[in-house]
Amino acid sequence: MSSVSRDILMKDLFKGIELDRLKIENDIKVPNEFYQNLLDYFMERSYLNRLSERERFSTDMSNTGKITWLRITRLPVHPDHMEDYELLSRWQGVLASMHAWGHRTIFLLNRCGGETRVYLGTTSSEKGVRSSDAVEQMRESASGNMPGIELQALSPEEILDQISGGLSTYQAAGAVTGIPSFRNSRKAGMLQTLDQLSFGIRDLNGNEKDYALLVIADPLKDGDVAELIGKMRRLSSEIHLDVSRTVSETESQSENKNKGAAAGSGGGLLGALIGSCIGGGAAQIGSILGMGLATGIGGLTGMQKQIGMSYSRNVTTQYLDRFAQYAEQLLEQHIERMKKGRNLGFWNTGVYVLGNTKKDIRTVTGMLRSVYSGDETYLEPIRLHIFKDGSGALETVKYGMELVPLTAEEEVEKGKEWHIFGKVFQYVSTPMNTEELSLAASLPRRDVPGLRFVKTAVRFANNPAELAGDSITLGRVVDTGVIQNNEYKIDPHALVRHTLVTGSTGSGKSTTCKTIIREVAERGIPVLIIEPAKDDYMRWAVQENRKLPEDRRFQLYMPGVKEFEGEKLSELKLNPFQPGAVREAPVDLMQRGEKLTAVLNASLPVSDVLPVIIDETVYSYLYRSFKAPFLAGEMEQPLVYPKMDGMIEMAKDVLRARNYEQKVQDNIGASLETRFQYLVRGTRGKILNVSRSTEFDELFRKPAVINLSRITNEKDRALIMSLLMLSLYEYRISAYTWDENWRREAQKNHLLHLTVIEEAHNVLSRPRGDYGGTGNPQQAAADLFVSMLSEIRSYGEGMMIVDQVPTRLIPDAVKNTNYKIVHRLTSPDDCDVMAAGLALRPDQKSLIVSLGIGNAVICGDMDDAAAWVKINKVE
């Protein structure tokens, strides 16, 4: 009889054998209890199920080192889509750095009194490294990986008050063990966070519950991880031998029965495991693991049974041990986890919960299970434990900040390694790689009391244009909320190509403008500020005048006010017929009259024939005043100009010359008289009904502030500002034409004068139809300004347009300005307009609504892209 065994294919089993002759019975039992218990106890750690029943844990806290702490007070998020900001991967970067340095890392989330406080603690396991050095490295890593995070270092007194004192009141403790894993079916970055836990827990009566989550992570050295991987690989190889068995049966005429008893694996890790469980150590660790594993090992004996018959027919049966197969697969998956740990770090991690009652512990741990459970948690399921009172676990966690050992001092000799995979598995903890730890100690993603979220996680240009010559430093570059060392500078002469400054109230526009004005004035370039509302610049100029030499002081004009904060004010006069011109330069009154007619027709309520009559009245009035020189075009500047009130009688003369019916003449005359009388009454009249304007050399060639806030009517302000702009435009042309020095500098594209227009919508408002015939001076001013922006820079004049609402301005205010400085805006349409003007990406546009006070997004023609700048404060 041959007893040679070989693998037989399925088709070979029935070749040459009659069916009724196949009567061989086989009652060999392939053992499975051993591998089933191996899975339960050592791989899935089912012995932890009895953790809540333990009466005593070790309370040895002799290894506790000094822990230094940081409090997280602010976290950065994406301004528009929070899920687009990879906070989780950045947090993993922090943890990986801490592991590389060998620093123990502690994450504490304490919800107390309706406020959530998140702390990071650390101490180094490396000799010679102080805890203060470790916490500084933690700060640097967090700031580098999560720019914009705000961390507050706690002093010893604050640690005693906030950490020790904050945890000392808790009377119950629990733990969560198992391997956290992510869910791939949804965006786990948003769902698997501690947001709900951070938001707080309330009972049915709405009372807040106080609790704390403490995650203690001890870094494992790479050599220890490599050794652990080696143990698992050796065990996997030995298990593989028992995954599949082949049993051979031979028939013969005589029956022989042989039985034997032998262990299936007598050496290697399995042998060591068996020896530890059925040898002398069983009694010692039985109370820890339970006796299930030791009793299950009996399945490895009584394995052989042979029945022989006379026929020389071999039947081979292959048996597959599913438990052994799964144990092998599970080991491979654990090995993959640890290989990841060799990449970014592997930790022995304890997750503990503190609270006032066991009910609170049960609630919090249940919520944590929902956070931690993912697609691969089955490798070691999430288990919830509540420690018994007096077990010592509460004190170990609360005071020692240590991992809780699985045993008590009297159960196992101190330092003894009783677990097959080593000491790392001998605590109420879970070995985790950095990816798993980042989930166990995940950072909140929602704003909660005590933890601010700032929408600053946006990248902007970090390298503004290099300026070789003179420059004005506006501030320092900001990126993802972090102020950089490099400064943002502008070329003062680039201001000749105009600037738009916009932002909501209190966003820092005035500070930005004053910074530029002061820098320009210090270079000897005169600045004119036109302020139609408020008196902020008047007050600022008064303060500046007290520090400036007399030749650089601002001339102050405020119609309706003679004295302001103890300083006597100059009187503003604007004769509408007087062209703006430098001293002794010729003027063109005919051209001025045509422009004035356009302004008046747009500003006054006119309809039917009135515009024609006004045009003829202005022409006739100037002709009567100057005769032939008026018709000749350019003429010498007269000493006096016709006053506005003379237009009333002139209009009557024009009407009489037209031979209208008396009734029509009376109606039109009354209408014109009403309109011209309007222009010469009140504060308007004091400005306009004068024989000569304020010297234009004083207005447009020296520092000056013109405040129109006492003129309450918006249309009146727009009319006066239109006349000012018209005179300024004419004055610059005159200077360019008749002043050789001025022209020479202007041709170099140098800034020779800067005009700042606050509340610019008064003169640059988007056109609106005059449907009621009431006049639209804003339209006249806007039309004039469009042509000015395009041309006036050639004459050395720069315009700085300032307004809160950019959508109210004419499109050219955005299109024809070089520097665009955007502070915080809240309206979506305003953000859209300015984002298009700055060529911002969608994520950069989203930041505009979140800009802090004094922060601005700036772009000029020398920049490759827009920069985020923290503006310097004006001293």
Q: How far, in Å, CA of 399 to CA of 277, rounded?
A: 35
Tokens 């191996």 belong to 38
DSSP 32-71: -HHHHHIIIIIIS-GGGGGGGG-S------TTPPP-EEEE
**C-alpha distances in angstroms, 675 versus 162, 281, 331, 651, 792?**
74, 112, 96, 11, 32
Task: Pull the structure tokens for residue 264.
Answer: 């299936």
Q: Which residues have C-beta within 8 Å of that of residue 518, sequence separation ≥ 6?
A: 544, 874
The pLDDT of residue 161 is 93
| Nearest Cα residue to 574 out of 623, 527, 644 | 644
DSSP 670-717: HHHHHHHHHHHSHHHHHHHS-SSPSPHHHHHSS-EEEE-TT---HHHH
What are the pLDDT digits (tens) for 297-339?
Answer: 443 333 444 444 444 556 666 667 777 788 888 889 999 999 9
The pLDDT of residue 586 is 95
Separation of first and last alpha carbons in the chain? 109
The pLDDT of residue 103 is 93
The pLDDT of residue 262 is 37
Q: How far, in Å, CA of 132 to CA of 561, rounded?
A: 63
Report helix angle 777-791 to 589-603, nearest 10: 140
Q: How far, in Å, CA of 143 to CA of 479, rounded?
A: 12
The pLDDT of residue 620 is 93
What are the pLDDT digits (tens) for 491-546?
Answer: 999 999 999 999 999 999 999 999 999 999 999 999 999 998 889 999 999 999 99
| Dihedral of the alpha carbons of 579, 582, 588, 594, in degrees to the nearest 10 | -30
Q: Which residues have C-beta within 8 Å of that of residue 649, sequence separation ≥ 6?
A: none
Q: How far, in Å, CA of 431 to CA of 433, rounded?
A: 7
Task: Pull the structure tokens for residue 139.
Answer: 């700060």
Strands (E), 230-297: 244-251, 257-260
Question: Which regions of the chain are under pLDDT 50?
Answer: 1-30, 32, 188-189, 253, 257-267, 274-285, 291-311, 771
Q: How far, in Å, CA of 53 to CA of 717, rounded?
A: 84
| Nearest Cα residue to 444 out of 115, 2, 143, 14 | 115
CA 447 to chain centre: 12
Specify the 3-state DSSP secondary structure of 873.
coil
- Is-contact 257 307, C-beta < 8 A? yes
Lay out the sheet containing 314-320: strands in order across: 257-260, 304-309, 244-251, 314-320
Q: How far, in Å, CA of 372 to CA of 351, rounded?
A: 11
Q: How far, in Å, CA of 370 to CA of 379, rounded?
A: 16
CA 350 to chain centre: 31
The pLDDT of residue 50 is 86
The pLDDT of residue 499 is 96
Tokens 């290894």 belong to 63
